[in-house]
């Protein structure tokens, strides 16, 4: 969906039913085998790939999504690692490898592919997918609240 990122549903004033197409359910893969990141990858590529494994949208990923993510990480790694730029002069020419800046077109392609994987909050909102973290219960806070309530009840009586 083009345009600005939609607000989270909790931040919207109107609660109209979302306008969308028909939802067709397809059988999901019984067990999705998540590939391991390659230890040879550039640290940035590995960090991105590993972050997908911890992200909430992973629950919707099918094997084809993980294959695309693996391909993206492999390509990012190749772009960020030192690349062949030439050879030294002389009788014993040696290859020269240098780190070169990431090309704008490559970055744009990676960002587009990441968008298809719903990798950012804005991408997920544009696709009408919202992830919410489960609220954790702090037992110490619960106990202190109970102690204050008990204390106030004792003081009032």
Confidence class of residue 54 from pLDDT cuts 50, 70 and 90?
Answer: very high
Q: 137 or 91, which is more confident?
A: 91
**In-domain check, residue 102:** yes
**In-domain check, residue 23:** no
Cα(140)–Cα(132) distance, integer angstroms: 23
**In-domain check, residue 15:** no
Confidence class of residue 37 from pLDDT cuts 50, 70 and 90?
Answer: very high
Whether the per-residue pLDDT at 117 is higher than 60: the answer is yes
**In-domain check, residue 76:** yes
Tell me the mean pLDDT in the region 53-65: 90
Tell me the mean pLDDT in the region 112-127: 89
According to DSSP, residue 98 is labeled E
Structure tokens at 20: 């969308």
Tell me the mean pLDDT in the region 49-65: 92
Structure tokens at 19: 């306008």
**Residue 98: strand pairing partners:** 83
H or E segment and range at residue 93: none
H or E segment and range at residue 107: helix 104-116
Ramachandran sector of residue 105 (left: φ over 0; alpha: ψ -120 to 50; beta: rest): alpha
**In-domain check, residue 30:** no
**In-domain check, residue 78:** yes
Domain count, the chain: 1
Segments forming the whole domain that contains residue 85:
62-127
> pTM of the full predicted structure?
0.69
**In-domain check, residue 98:** yes
């Amino acid at each position: 969906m083009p345009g600005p990122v939609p607000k989270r549903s909790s931040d919207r004033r109107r609660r109209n039913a979302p306008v969308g197409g028909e939802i067709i359910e397809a059988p999901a893969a019984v067990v999705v085998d998540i590939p391991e990141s390659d230890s040879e990858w550039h640290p940035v590529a590995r960090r991105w790939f590993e972050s997908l494994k911890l992200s909430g949208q992973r629950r919707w990923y099918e094997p084809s999504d993980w294959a695309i993510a693996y391909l993206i990480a492999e390509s990012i790694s190749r772009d960020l690692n030192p690349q062949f730029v030439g050879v030294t002069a002389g009788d014993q020419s040696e290859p020269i490898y240098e780190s070169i800046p990431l090309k704008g077109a490559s970055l744009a392609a990676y960002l587009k592919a990441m968008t298809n994987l719903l990798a950012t909050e804005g991408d997920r909102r544009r696709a009408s997918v919202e992830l919410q973290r489960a609220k954790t219960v702090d037992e110490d806070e619960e106990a202190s609240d109970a102690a204050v309530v008990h204390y106030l009840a004792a003081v009032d009586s």
